[in-house]
Structure 1
Amino acid sequence: MKRWGFFFILAVICSGLAGCTMAQETTSKSDSKGVMTKRQVLNLSTFRPLATLDTDKMAEFGRLNNTIEGLYSTTGEGQAELALAKKVKINARKTTYTFTLWKDSYWSNGDVITAKDFVFSWRRALSPRTKAPNADLFVGIHNARQILDGQLPARKLGVSAPNKFTLVVHLDHPMAELPQRLTYPLFGPQNERVAHKFGKKYATKPQYQVYAGPFMVSAKGNTAKHWHMVPNPHYWDREHVYLQRINVTVYRNWQKTWDDYRNGRLDEVRLQSAANIKLYEKQAAYTARPYSRMVLISYRKQGSRSQVNQLIAQRNARLAISHAINRKRLSQKSYGATSLTAQGVVPA
């Protein structure tokens, strides 16, 4: 099967500021493909314990992005490209997307990934029994708003599987951002057979979940403070997944994270403050990666000065203040010289 994919899935969250990391340098030999020939183990940190493997229960996906894949994935340039979908046909009104899935994409247990797995996953996310934290992302797909408002059952969502490898998505209106939105892990498939098999145990532990992405959470060797991922043996592009293991350690102390990075026990650490970014951004190990963050500035309309309150209450006054802000300087002062200025709510 000829198709290309990225074995790290990057999720775009909100609006455009750069995320920055410090990564350990290596002197290992490389083969002709530029891939390290020695043992490929990546050591990463997180501040959140592994509470669930249910994509419908996660508010953030973090390191688990690498276990999930959907109709589209995100390239290194932040663009959406087809992944589990082989092709897509869009009607003239741009309100119906018909996806043809690859017939040789498999779950980590060897089951074939089908269109019904997407229908099950999306309906489940909108079901009142599930209450997916980010279920509002489905709004725009036909009937999603009414389902969220309790006016219709989840089975009325505008998604269907006329056959095993065809998925049809109906929209309420054209959505130019749909491919980008569908890269978000919440829109990935879920194995209906496995979910029914394990019932309430489903996705509560690694042995009660299966994975469509390049990696899967190992069922052995995990603790409350440490878990790890290994390659999915049935992933469609497994020949291009070079990492043998991804270790993820839960940290409660920021200083401990830095100490382990400096001592070589972590391969990467995210720089959180402007001071750290300015200190390290000229070093060779510093990397600015496309990442996004939204910060809302609210106006205080009930202050002690009535004249100021009246001014702030006017929409045009708030708009004038917004136009007066030097966004480039604000972002670079807050997040370092490599930060990109947001041009709107939707990131590039």
Structure 2
Amino acid sequence: MKARKIFVIAISLVSSILSVGCSSHQTKKTHEKPVKQEASMRIRGMVKMLDTVRGIDQNSIQINQNVFEGLYRYDKEGRLVLAGAESEKTEDGGRVHVYRLRKDAKWSNGDPVVAQDYVYAWKKLLSLNESASNWTNLLILKNAEEIHDGQKDMESLGVQALDDHTLRVELIGNTPYYKEIFASTAMFPQNHAVAEKYGDEYGKTSASTVFNGPFSVVGLEQGSKKWELVKNKNYWGKKDVKLKRIKYVVERDQPSAQKDFFKGKCDYVRIGCSYDEKLASKKGFHKRLIPEVSMIRFNQKRQVTGNVHFRRAVTYAIDRKKIAASKTFHAKALYGIVPANYSYSPENDVDYREDAGNIVGLDKKKAQNEWKQAQKETGRNQVTLTLMFTENSRYSDISGKIKKDLETTLPGLQIKIKMVELNEKMEQAFDYDYDMFYLSWQPSYVDPLAFIVNGGMEHLREDHHNPDYRNNLEKANACGGDFGKRRGFIIAAEKDLVEKDAFVAPLFQQANGYLLNPNLRCVGFVPYGSTCILRDAWIRK
């Protein structure tokens, strides 16, 4: 299916990606010197956490996806295949899955990967107090929601280690996307002995972490601007891993990173959606539409931003099409929280966004009516609010356009733009220390519910109390294999979230541009975002 295809990068036409880009090594003449299997990558920011249940930022996910491994992984054809598990048995009509783990799977310190490592990590994920964690991935497990809400004990969670190499998982029902969930970084195992040894320090540095994936991290400290991935000698599939070393350097800025690429100093640079056509015409440039959604979040605990009429006013006042059509900004205007070209029905292959249609959009009359109602309910005709962005020059144009739209359409509203460092922005979001902020978010699996029950919306469960929304989600989860009926309930839940309650204001879906050395072969991308998969990559002379 379209949404499940992994993008494997070649040096020539898309039609020859698999046959050329991922062909096996060509036979070398005996007198030729072997090619050094080392790559150099630029990354946008520092890695916050190697702890897979806490590493929710894209930089951390980029690294964790290549140094850890769960029950499943994506192969270079885009199929989900067993990884940490060697077999799976399904019981009780698809509700129960019993996995036999690989006996040759080891951690980088030599410890075996055991079933208890999965149980430990999943319970740890559920017990986190951090509202931005990916704990919502666990909602497919029996009793996860009840445990989170304090209604049941942690021991009732639907996961058990039957023995060292047998893991039993019980779901809430026949869940069609469970494999995608189990392939996400949040669901990877953790060496419970090492994690317990280091406690809160686990995952903050490479020295306090052990790895079970194709690579290990070395030289990473808190605040590091460069580090390396080295081939994991204890990885069960090490014979398939060709790269010996991958150097990561945090880019100073986009122009510098691009210069490094064209000078041959690095092999990969993520450009994102902000680039000009001159760059797009250069050798090594690629682009693809990805399910990365940009949106505005509102602080529900403050008087004005907590008012539903104000939030609706903002949603209707922004001209998404104008922002997405910028000459140097490549994106697709989005009129719902779930992106296009992301999730397709297994019954008729129709894209979810096509079925759901446009839920919100530019409507100045509606915006002004909602604004007047917000002014009446809050008793404030003149309002000054701060809109927070991550500190990056590429956001200056976007922020200016949003500010102009809001101030022009909603008289009496003044917007102050505030640029802050990423970690500071995340901390302020957790602490409700903001009015509104702009964020971009990628899912960790392919299903519309990834955006509707998580979507990067910290405090969603705490702050969103629409019973219709909850009811529609429950009905969707009860549909099992009736995909058409399930989609109908999901669309209804999306309308509750975005149109009725305006919990967030979706803006656009990004087109990911990137520079890739044509000699770095078999680089894959997860189907749900921009994360590179380097397990099968190799350097061609």
TM-score range, shorter chain: 0.7 to 0.9
Q: Which residue in the other structure is 2:27 paired with?
A: 32
Question: Which piece of structure 1 moves more, 125-134 or 239-248?
Answer: 125-134
Q: Which residue in the other structure is 1:75 paired with?
A: 75
> CA, structure 1 residues 290+114, in 2 after alignment: closer, same or farther (shift >3 Å)?
farther
CA distance in 2, matches of 1:43, 1:198: 30
Matches within 5 A, 1:60-209: 60=57, 61-128=61-128, 133-209=133-209
> CA, structure 1 residues 235+172, in 2 after alignment: closer, same or farther (shift >3 Å)?
same
Contact preservation (8 Å) 1:58, 1:132: no
Q: Does 1:43 find its partner at 2:40?
A: yes
CA distance in 2, matches of 1:94, 1:260: 50
CA distance in 2, matches of 1:336, 1:239: 31
Q: CA deviation at 1:195?
A: 1.4
Alignment gaps of 5+ in structure 1: 1-14, 24-29, 310-314, 323-330, 338-345
Contact preservation (8 Å) 2:120, 2:190: yes
CA distance in 2, matches of 1:121, 1:289: 33
CA distance in 2, matches of 1:112, 1:263: 43
Q: Which residue in the other structure is 1:303 paired with?
A: 367
Q: CA deviation at 1:68?
A: 0.9
CA distance in 1, matches of 2:185, 2:216: 14
> CA, structure 1 residues 87+290, in 2 after alignment: closer, same or farther (shift >3 Å)?
farther
Deviations 1:157-214 (Å, cap 9, x if unpaired)? 1000111110000011111111121110111110011112223332221111100100
Question: Which piece of structure 1 moves more, 131-140 or 108-117?
Answer: 131-140
CA distance in 1, matches of 2:34, 2:256: 30
CA distance in 2, matches of 1:305, 1:17: 44
Deviations 1:205-257 (Å, cap 9, x if unpaired)? 11111001000101489972111110111000111111111111112411111
Alignment gaps of 5+ in structure 2: 12-24, 295-333, 336-359, 374-490, 500-507, 514-526, 530-541
Tell me the secondary structure at the aligned position of residue 247 of structure 2: strand
Contact preservation (8 Å) 2:89, 2:99: yes
CA distance in 1, matches of 2:79, 2:9: 21
Q: Does 1:294 find its partner at 2:289?
A: no
Matches within 5 A, 1:199-348: 199-219=199-219, 224-273=224-273, 275-276=275-276, 278-279=277-278, 284-288=283-287, 291-294=290-293, 296-297=334-335, 298-299=360-361, 302-304=366-368, 335=511
Q: CA deviation at 1:287?
A: 3.9
Q: Which residue identity lines up with residue 368 of structure 2 in the other structure?
A: S
Q: Which residue identity lines up with residue 44 of structure 2 in the other structure?
A: F
Tell me the secondary structure at the aligned position of residue 211 of structure 1: coil
CA distance in 2, matches of 1:347, 1:196: 32
Q: Which residue in the other structure is 1:58 paired with?
A: 55
Q: Which residue identity lines up with residue 183 of structure 1 in the other structure?
A: A
> CA, structure 1 residues 53+170, in 2 after alignment: closer, same or farther (shift >3 Å)?
same
Q: CA deviation at 1:50?
A: 2.4
Taking only the aligned residue pairs, the percentage that are identical comes to 27
> CA, structure 1 residues 18+229, in 2 after alignment: closer, same or farther (shift >3 Å)?
closer
Q: CA deviation at 1:92?
A: 4.1
Q: CA deviation at 1:284?
A: 4.8
> Larger % of helix: which?
2
CA distance in 2, matches of 1:223, 1:185: 22
Q: Which residue identity lines up with residue 45 of structure 2 in the other structure?
A: R
CA distance in 1, matches of 2:42, 2:197: 33
CA distance in 2, matches of 1:77, 1:291: 18
CA distance in 1, matches of 2:255, 2:10: 15
Q: CA deviation at 1:128?
A: 3.5
Q: Which residue identity lines up with residue 367 of structure 2 in the other structure?
A: G
* Higher RCO structure, 1 or 2 (CA under 8 Å, sep 6+): 1
Q: Which residue identity lines up with residue 304 of structure 1 in the other structure?
A: Q
CA distance in 2, matches of 1:270, 1:133: 25
Tell me the secondary structure at the aligned position of residue 152 of structure 1: coil
TM-score (norm 2): 0.49
Deviations 1:89-111 (Å, cap 9, x if unpaired)? 01141100000111111100000
Q: Which residue identity lines up with residue 262 of structure 1 in the other structure?
A: F
Q: Which residue identity lines up with residue 303 of structure 1 in the other structure?
A: A
> CA, structure 1 residues 82+271, in 2 after alignment: closer, same or farther (shift >3 Å)?
same
Contact preservation (8 Å) 2:206, 2:221: no
